Structure 1
């Protein structure tokens, strides 16, 4: 039986600091294949090679991955500063219109970290370049040293809105997650509902109100250890259900607040 296809947004890298590549982490592919039950397909996120209409015809759903480069601040009306970090304008040119097109059609996507931020920016929201510089906020960045297990370790709680989408999906009002990001939501975009927060008030989970499809997005990295993690599994399972429904021509299950 043919599995539905999830397009995984790739990031640009250089091998040996000279050979340009588009690549996606194997943990993304594992989460899509082993938990969501779909076929992962790496997408070169560059408008020189692909277009949004083509991607939407080929793929049934999309995983908006994390990545070291940030969304360029010009996309939300602010000048570039050193604090905004590295950028990938080619990825911006694919993912931001892709989010808007998926919302219009009801095609499912799951946003992770940078993908979470892309959803907000695509809908007119803004980002803060460095969350840890805000009064009362913690350092959410990835630890610079240590093993992969140590860097992706569960480091803070996320509290969901009582009776909200994530509360009902997880079966818990509070969960533990990893944290590997520097930027974060400053102002929500049109229709963006923040449904989960870290202890310091940083937005960590969102969905798009009134959207006809699956729009759940998170600031942490649920793709890590998704098979075993009790928070990651229901998220990717629900995403897989939505993608299968779309591929079968059925109305995808829309998760809403109680």
Structure 2
């Protein structure tokens, strides 16, 4: 039986400062293939090569991955500054309309780190360019040194809304997560529901209110050690179930409102 197809949003990357590629972390493919039980398909996120209509036709669901470049602040009405870092307008041109179309139709997506911010911006949110500069906030960025295990180590808890979708999927109101991001939600869009917070008040988990499909998105990186991590695994399993339901011609049961 064919596995449903999950499009994994790729990032532009330069090999040896000369050769352009579209790349995706193998841990994203591993989580999609071995936990969500879907077929991972890397997408060159550039409107010169693909269209949103084509992606919606080919893929049953999408993982909006993390990435070093940030969503361009013009997408949420702000002027760019050095604090906003690097940008990828080609990826913006694919992912933002893709999110809106999926929200409309119910096609499942799972937003991760930059992907979480794409979901937020696509649905009318604004972003802080550097949350560690805000009073009372911790440094959520990836440690500059250390092994991969040290960079992705669990560093803070996230607390979810009682009986919200994350609480129901994970079976716990508080979990430990890694943290490797610099930006964060400033003002949530009208339909963006913040369902989980870090101890310093940083929004860490969102979904889109009244969307007919799976829209859960997280600011941390659940693709790391997804097979074994007790937080990551149920998130990818729930996403995989929603993708299979879509592929079978059924709408996934929305997990979008507190009971």
State the TM-score, normalized to the length of structure 2.
0.99
Within the alignment, does 1:167 sit opposite 2:167 as a pair? Answer: yes
Alignment of 1:29-178 (within 5 A): 29-178=29-178
- Asked whether 1:239 is paired with 2:249, we answer no
Runs of 4+ with >6 A deviation? none
SS of residue matched to 2:166: helix
The yes-or-no answer on 1:223 pairing with 2:223 is yes
- Identify the range of structure 1 (74-83 vs 248-257) with the bigger mean alpha-carbon deviation: 248-257
1:245 to partner: Cα distance: 0.3
User: How do residues 7-46 of structure 1 correspond to structure 2 at under 5 angstroms?
Assistant: 7-46=7-46
Where in structure 2 are there 5+ consecutive unaligned residues? none
Q: Partners in 2 of 1:49 and 1:163 — Cα distance? A: 42
What does the per-residue CA deviation read over 1:131-167, in whole Å, with 9 as the maximum and x for residues that have no partner? Answer: 1000100000000000000000000000001111111
Secondary structure, counterpart of 2:186 in structure 1? strand
- State the Cα deviation string for residues 98-126 of structure 1 (Å, max 9, x = none): 00000111000000000000001001110
How far apart, CA to CA, are the structure 2 residues paired with 1:107 and 1:79? 32
SS at match of 1:94: helix
* Backbone CA RMSD of aligned residues: 0.5
Q: Map Cα deviations across residues 158-177 of structure 1 (whole Å, 9 max, x no partner).
A: 00011111111111110000
The superposition leaves residues 162-208 of structure 1 with CA deviations (integer Å, 9 ceiling, x where unpaired) of 11111111111100000000000001113100000000000000001
**Alpha-carbon shift at residue 251 of structure 1 (Å):** 1.4
1:196-211 alignment runs, 5 A limit? 196-211=196-211
Distance 2:105 2:16 in 1: 41
In 1, the alpha carbon distance for the partners of 2:138 and 2:66 equals 20
Extract unaligned runs of 5+ from structure 1.
none
1:33-77 alpha-carbon deviations (Å, 9 max, x no partner) = 000000000000000000000000000000000000000000000
The farther-off stretch of 48-57 and 245-254 is 245-254
